[in-house]
């Protein structure tokens, strides 16, 4: 159905912030993950105490902490961090080992777990070599004291060992991803070195790992590495689904959770070109308790087909739905502005990432947008309850409850939704609309709605806007 030119939206005015084994899902009462993409360690630690913990985020995903290549001639692109030179956790663009350890401690003190973006499929690209961020020298297949030529796959295909045919399992898991030296993860020695790196992180106190490029490692290899971990850790794996491809996300669920890339594209399609009414049965093929879901991440926002911070109000509504819905473990993105897809984070002249001050110097901090941050509390209070009282207008206005704990209304129509009353299972009382206000100690900075003894309340919802009530934001 053709519709929905991107318009100025009411919600845009609301985006500013308010004041050895792997578990099947994050444990504890709070499971929402936030990806603080490219933040330095001091800023992550500060954010855990100042915002993430108080606002109910369960974990933070931090960028790769190992020594990486340094590419001043290319403007210190973000992806240099995804080319390991060694497994030293020291002197990266984000800080020192001491800074990293202090960050972990600060986050734990705030009740926030730390998940590390772990690059263990490959090392660097290119043949020239050089010195890494901590001073280690390297060439494409020689990392002194760590890996040499025999520790890598050399698939002998396509003239340069690169993956060309994603329909060929052997190529996907034995050739090189864009020229990155592909580790032979079937080797006992290689597995031991990778496990030693992950165990070093565990010794510092990290709680889990996002395994980068998992699709390019056989699931059995990951299982063998995971078996060497010194203690249990939450694991979620990057396995991008491709139609007709032989390597599929469901192969990896025995190791832990899997990032569900189909979710963000399907959600964007419904918001941009279809009808919100279709969300009534929204899910993806992976089992809910094995899927980590997201509207966008650092890769997909630089592609196409997903909603990003540039979609403003519609992006906020999509995240609100994700956090209110019952499918998957939600992961919220937090970005910086960029004019080219390669552009690194705000940095000093030497490429070191500058401290993050949200909503300045290019830091977008979507996780602090009022709608998104307040829906984290909605998610936490409604977790484990069923969807109830679904309503839609057959097009782009929907509403639903989560048991007797919460109620969400989304209106993506081009005009206001007026003259309606909504039925909920919420207890009678006055509730803060956390879409438009912040709730603190019985008070609300925004609109308040009264649910009567029969569960009804009346509300008018502006175009491209919403409303959210929950049991932990009861006024008075």
Q: Mark whether 465 and 338 lie in a shared domain.
A: no
**Residue 352 clears pLDDT 90, i.e. is over it:** yes
Q: Are residues 340 and 412 in the same domain?
A: no
Residues 105 and 223 in one domain: yes
Mean pLDDT of 376-389: 97
- What confidence score (pLDDT) does residue 22 get? 43
| Structural domain contains residue 43 | yes
Give, for 200, the enclosing helix (H) or strand (E): helix 188-204
pLDDT tens by residue, 53-99? 999 999 999 999 999 999 999 999 999 999 999 999 999 999 999 99
Three-class SS state of 265: helix
94-150 pLDDT, tens digit each: 999 999 999 999 999 999 999 999 999 999 998 778 999 999 999 999 999 999 999
In a domain, 380, yes or no: no
Query: Dihedral through CA 234, CA 237, CA 238, CA 244, nearest 10?
Result: -150
Rounded CA-CA distance 68/212 in Å is: 15
81 and 168 part of one domain: yes
Residue 433's CATH number: 2.60.40.1180
Residue 8 counted as domain residue: no
Q: Are the C-beta atoms of 95 and 41 separated by less than 8 Å?
A: yes
> In this structure, is residue 307 part of a structural domain?
no
How many domains in the chain? 2
Which pair of tokens denotes residue 476?
A: 């008075």
d(CA 389, CA 406): 11
Statement: residue 383 has pLDDT above 60: yes
> Which of 314, 337, 368 is where one domain is finished?
368
> Is the CB of residue 397 less than 8 Å from the CB of residue 410?
yes
Chain mean pLDDT for the chain: 94
Same domain, residue pair 350 and 457: no
With pLDDT > 70 as the criterion, what percentage of the chain qualifies? 94
Same structural domain for residues 360 and 467? no
Say yes or no to pLDDT of 2 above 80: no
Asked, for residue 381, whether it belongs to a domain, the answer is no
Enter the tokens of residue 236.
């979620």
Tokens linked to 117: 């973006």
pLDDT digits (tens, 9 = 90+) for 173-197: 999 999 999 999 999 999 999 999 9
Question: Are both 42 and 123 inside the same structural domain?
Answer: yes
What is the CATH number for 188?
A: 3.20.20.80
Confidence of residue 476 (pLDDT cuts 50, 70, 90): confident
Q: Is 29 helix (H, G, I), strand (E, B) or coil?
A: coil
Confidence of residue 29 (pLDDT cuts 50, 70, 90): confident
Mark which of 340, 368, 396 sits at the end of a domain: 368
Q: Which two tokens stand for residue 124?
A: 């660097």
* Annotated catalytic residue 142: no
- Catalytic option among 161, 212, 296, 465: 212
- Are 467 and 334 in a shared domain? no
First to last CA, the chain: 45
Residue 439, domain member (yes or no): yes
| Three-class SS state of 151 | helix
- pLDDT > 70? residue 290: yes
Dist. CA 243–CA 169, nearest whole Å: 14
pLDDT over threshold 80, residue 3: no
Task: Evaluate whether residue 347 is within a structural domain.
Answer: yes
Backbone dihedral region of 324: left (phi > 0), alpha (psi from -120 to 50 degrees) or beta?
A: alpha
Lowest mean pLDDT among 2-11, 189-198, 376-385, 464-473: 2-11
Longest dimension (CA), the chain: 73
For residues 398 and 347, state if they share a domain. Answer: no
pLDDT band at 26 (very low <50, low <70, confident <90, very high): low
210/344 same-domain check: yes
Helices 312-324 and 261-273: angle between axes, nearest 10 degrees? 130
What span, in angstroms and rounded, lies between the C-alpha atoms of 424 and 433? 14
Is pLDDT of 395 > 50? yes
DSSP for 393-435, please give it: -SSSEEEEEETTTEEEEEE-SSS-EEEEEEE--SPSEEEE-TT
Examine residue 269 and state whether it is found in any structural domain, yes or no.
Answer: no
Respond yes or no: is residue 238 known to be catalytic: yes
Mean pLDDT to the nearest integer, 235-241: 98
Q: Considering 161, 238, 412, 413, which one is annotated as catalytic?
A: 238
The pLDDT of residue 27 is: 61
Is the domain of 106 the same as that of 167? yes
Helix or strand run (H / E) with residue 125: strand 122-125
| pLDDT score, position 28 | 67
Q: Give the SS3 label for residue 357.
A: coil
What is the mean predicted confidence (pLDDT) over 344-350? 97
Pair 349, 392 in one domain = no
Range of the domain at 206: 17-260+328-368
Extract long-range pairs of 192-195: CB within 8 Å, 24+ residues apart: 192/228, 193/87, 193/146, 193/147, 194/120, 194/225, 195/225, 195/228, 195/229
Structural domain ending residue among the three candidates 339, 368, 397:
368
| Mean per-residue pLDDT, 430-455 | 97
């Amino acid at each position: 159905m053709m519709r929905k030119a991107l318009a100025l939206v009411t919600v845009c005015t609301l985006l500013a912030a308010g004041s050895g084994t792997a578990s099947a899902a994050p444990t504890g009462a709070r499971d929402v993950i936030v990806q603080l993409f490219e933040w330095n360690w001091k800023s992550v630690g500060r954010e855990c105490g100042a915002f993430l913990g108080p606002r109910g985020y369960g974990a933070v995903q931090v960028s790769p902490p190992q020594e990486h290549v340094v590419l001043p001639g290319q403007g210190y692109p973000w992806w240099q961090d995804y080319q390991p030179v060694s497994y030293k956790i020291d002197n990266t663009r984000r800080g020192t080992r001491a800074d990293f350890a202090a960050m972990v401690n600060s986050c734990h003190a705030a009740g926030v777990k730390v998940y590390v973006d772990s690059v263990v499929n490959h090392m660097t690209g290119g043949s020239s070599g050089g010195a890494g961020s901590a001073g280690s020298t390297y060439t494409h297949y020689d990392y002194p004291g760590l890996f040499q030529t025999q520790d890598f796959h050399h698939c002998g295909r396509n003239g340069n060992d690169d993956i060309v045919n994603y329909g060929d399992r052997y190529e996907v898991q034995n050739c090189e991803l864009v020229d990155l030296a592909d580790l032979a993860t079937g080797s006992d020695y290689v597995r031991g070195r990778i496990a030693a790196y992950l165990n070093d992180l565990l010794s510092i106190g990290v709680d889990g790992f996002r395994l980068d490029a998992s699709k390019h490692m056989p699931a059995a290899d990951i299982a063998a590495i995971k078996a060497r971990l010194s203690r249990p850790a939450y694991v979620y794996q990057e396995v991008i689904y491709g139609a007709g491809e032989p390597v599929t996300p469901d192969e990896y669920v025995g190791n832990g959770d899997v990032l569900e890339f189909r979710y963000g594209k399907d959600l964007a399609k419904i918001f941009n070109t279809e009808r919100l009414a279709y969300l009534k049965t929204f899910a993806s093929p992976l089992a809910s308790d094995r899927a980590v879901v997201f509207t966008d991440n650092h890769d997909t926002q630089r592609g196409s087909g997903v909603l990003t911070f540039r979609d403003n109000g519609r992006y906020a509504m999509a995240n609100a739905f994700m956090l209110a819905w019952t499918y998957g473990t939600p992961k919220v993105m937090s970005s910086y502005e960029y004019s080219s897809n390669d552009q690194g984070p705000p940095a000093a002249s030497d490429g070191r990432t500058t401290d993050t001050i949200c909503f300045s110097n290019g830091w977008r901090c979507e996780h602090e947008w009022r709608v998104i941050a307040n829906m984290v509390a909605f998610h936490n209070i409604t977790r484990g309850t069923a969807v109830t009282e679904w309503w839609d207008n057959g097009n782009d206005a929907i509403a639903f409850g989560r048991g007797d704990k919460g109620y969400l209304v989304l209106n993506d129509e081009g005009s206001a939704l007026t003259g309606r009353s909504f039925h909920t299972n919420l207890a009678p009382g006055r509730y803060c609309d956390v879409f438009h206000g912040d709730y603190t100690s019985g008070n609300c900075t925004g609109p308040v709605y009264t649910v009567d003894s029969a569960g009804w309340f009346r509300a008018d919802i502006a175009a491209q806007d919403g409303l959210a009530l929950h049991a932990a934001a009861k006024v008075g």
